[in-house]
Amino acid sequence: EADAILRCYRLLADHLHQYGSDGLGALIVSMTRQLSDLLVVYLLAREAGLTSWSENRLICPLPVVPLFERVEDLARSSSILTDFLAHPVTQVSLPIYSRGTEKPIVQVMIGYSDSNKDAGILASQWELYRAQKSMMTAARRFGVVLRFFHGRGGTISRGAGPTHRFLEALPSGSLDGGIRVTEQGETIAQKYANRSTATFNLELLLASTTGETLSPVTPQAEGKDIDSILDFLATESSSTYRALLDTENFMEFYNQATPIDALECSSIGSRPARRNDNRTLSDLRAIPWVFSWNQSRFYLPGWFGVGAALEKLRMQDPLAFQELKNSARSHPLLRYTLTNVETNLASAHLGIMEDYAALVKNVTVRRRFMKLISTEFKRSYHMVEAVLGGALSRRRPRMLKTLALREEALALLHRKQIYLLKAWRTSRAQRRNSQANKILPELLLSLNAIAGGLRTTG
């Protein structure tokens, strides 16, 4: 395995020696959790002949990009980045990264999927925001500018949302070094499959980025009162979300109430659904996690815990809750996050959730989790409406109309998928593999059909 990795580095070294460093790009270290995860790149680069020496100091022409994905890693991202920027090899290599800019630009990637899977949507969005601010502060001490690379997925629970609102909600100054974003899966075709659509989406990204770069900082966006409220909401929503995931028999409910087992038999992703062979929640990747909940119309990662947090704030601190209501339409991060939560709630369907939950064989487990989920669903719907100011039907009628147009066809597809799931699982349990293999293609087709109807696969 080490030889295979070194061969990749040697190939880069050959390219560098023949054509220079302009075509190298950067090396992204996924799941960056500590400084050594980044420094090992320097070690491998040296072994492969990719580095050079200047005045007895080692230089690495390959920019090393940390990717902070999990909540706890985002929380310590500033400390890791500080140590990385202070390292002698990084210090000597920084001028190479300038490439015509006044200050060196250091790229940092942040992931939206795993942080949401770990802690729920409110805690994820707030931790991402705080991490960007703290890393920018650290970078300024070293005279460098950060370019954030946003690893957003195709659905809200993985970082998606209206482009202009997303850019508005970023911390002030986070666009100073430019911006990079991912476009994944079906969103590539949706946004760029024809010239007019591609032109619109690129213009939207360019115009919004330019507008936010030129906009002055608004006092409201940096208010200390709102920061403390967001701290509270992030903590409480994450606590409620994690309590559900840690409840006994949760995985039994999840594995049977969603088509996760069918997804694991599909070939629609570039990576396997699980990081290894363990059948645990921590082993499951964020993409199938979100995909499976959306397929069964729970949309759970995109709202669970929000209602409990808002209700607790209203009960414990009515003045803070009123401040939240007053700021919800003007504070960019609040507006973006709560509007996205509301979109997920509107896309979810309690009746269809119950139809999928009927696949759970243990009646006690089924009833326990559906009570928890349905209670929090209703509470979240009510509390988000209370904060945003009135009924969803009055504020966002076009979105509801769009969802309603698809609902009749989707209902038929969901019923078909539930029938196929039950038949497929029965055949597998009875070891009638040939029968199960006959059912599987149609079951996988139902996944594609529902994904196309929902337009959010995960």
Task: Indicate whether 273 and 228 sit together in one domain.
Answer: yes
pLDDT value at position 274?
A: 58
Q: What confidence tier does 269 reach under pLDDT thresholds 50, 70, 90? A: low
Q: Which residue has the higher pLDDT, 268 or 199?
A: 199
Encoded amino acid at 443, one letter: L
Residues 384-411 have a mean pLDDT of 94
Enter the tokens of residue 124.
Answer: 């994820």
Q: Residue 383: inside a domain, yes or no?
A: yes
Domain that holds residue 156: 2-160+173-216
Structure tokens at 380: 């979240």
Q: Domain for residue 167, yes or no?
A: no
Average pLDDT over residues 146-172: 89
On whether both 307 and 189 belong to a single domain, the answer is no
Inter-residue contact 163 to 205 (CB < 8 Å): yes
Q: 132 with 148: CB under 8 angstroms?
A: yes
Q: Looking at the domain assignment, is residue 288 inside a domain?
A: yes
Residue 223 gets which letter from DSSP?
-
* 3-state class (DSSP) for residue 28: strand
Q: Are residues 54 and 129 in the same domain?
A: yes
Q: Long-range CB contacts (< 8 A, 24+ apart) of 245-250?
A: 245/281, 247/368, 247/369, 247/372, 249/362, 249/365, 249/368, 249/369, 250/281, 250/369
Per-residue pLDDT band at 147 (split at 50, 70, 90):
very high
Whether residue 270 is predicted with pLDDT greater than 80 in this model: the reply is no
d(CA 164, CA 206): 10
How far apart are alpha carbons 389 and 387 in whole angstroms?
Answer: 6
Are 103 and 28 in the same domain? yes
pLDDT for residue 218 = 54
Q: Is residue 444 part of a domain?
A: yes
Q: What is the pLDDT of residue 188?
A: 85
458 pLDDT more than 60: no
Whether residue 310 is contained in a domain is answered as yes
For residues 199 and 55, membership in a common domain is answered with yes
d(CA 418, CA 412): 10
- What is the distance between the alpha carbons of residues 418 and 446, in angstroms, rounded to a whole number? 10
Share of the chain above pLDDT 90, in %: 78
Considering the domain architecture, whether residues 36 and 6 belong to the same structural domain is answered as: yes
CB neighbours (10 Å) of residue 297?
A: 23
Tell me the mean pLDDT in the region 61-77. Answer: 96
252 has pLDDT over 50? yes
Nearest CA to 236 out of 166, 292, 317 is that of 317
Shared-domain flag, residues 50 and 185: yes
List, for residues 93-125, the tens digit of each pLDDT value: 998 877 667 889 999 999 999 999 999 999 999
DSSP symbols for 319-381:
HHHHHHHHHTTTSHHHHHHHHHHHHHHHH--HHHHHHHHTT-S-HHHHHHHHHHHHHHHHHHH
Same domain, 143 and 236: no
Predicted confidence band of residue 273 (pLDDT cuts 50, 70, 90): low
Instruction: Provide mean pLDDT across the span 9-31.
Output: 90
In the chain, the percentage of residues whose pLDDT exceeds 70 is: 94
Q: What is the pLDDT of residue 440?
A: 97
CB atoms within 10 A of CB 220: 13
What is the C-alpha separation between 169 and 174, in angstroms, rounded? 10
Q: Which of 79-83, 160-164, 171-175 has the highest mean pLDDT?
A: 79-83
The pLDDT of residue 139 is above 70: yes
Place of tokens 């196929």: 420
Residue 165 counted as domain residue: no
Compare 161 and 235 and report the one with higher pLDDT.
Answer: 235
Q: Which residue has better confidence, 260 or 274?
A: 260
Mean pLDDT of 315-328: 96
- Work out the mean pLDDT of the chain and round it to a whole number: 92
Which of 182, 216, 250 corresponds to the end of one domain? 216
3-state SS class at 52: strand
Give the integer Cα–Cα distance in Å for 363 and 157: 29
pLDDT at 238: 98
Residue 266 scores a pLDDT above 60: yes
- What DSSP line would sit under 379-397, residue for residue? HHHHHHHHHHTS-HHHH-H
Is 21 inside any structural domain? Answer: yes
pLDDT at 219: 44
| pLDDT band at residue 173 using 50, 70 and 90 as cut-offs | very high
Of the candidates 169, 187, 167, the residue with the CA atom closest to the CA atom of residue 178: 167
Q: What's residue 278's pLDDT?
A: 64
The count of structural domains within the chain is 2
CB 310 within 8 Å of CB 233: yes
Residues 89 and 177 in one domain: yes
Enter the pTM of the model: 0.92
Average confidence (pLDDT) over 387-413: 94
Statement to judge: residues 424 and 354 lie in one domain: yes
| DSSP structure string for 124-180 | HHHHHHHHHHHHHHHHHHTT-EEEEEEE--SSGGGT---HHHHHHTSPTTTTTT-EE
Considering only CA atoms, which of 75, 85, 212, 78 is closest in space to residue 144?
Answer: 85
Type of residue found at 369: F
Domain identity same for 191 and 325: no
Instruction: Tell whether 166 is covered by a domain.
Output: no
In this prediction, residue 221 carries a pLDDT of 44
Asked whether residue 457 carries a pLDDT value surpassing 50, the answer given is: yes
Residue 256: the pLDDT is 98
Residue 220 has pLDDT above 50, yes or no: no
Same domain, 212 and 284: no
In angstroms, rounded to a whole number, what is the distance separating the alpha carbons of residues 119 and 146?
A: 26
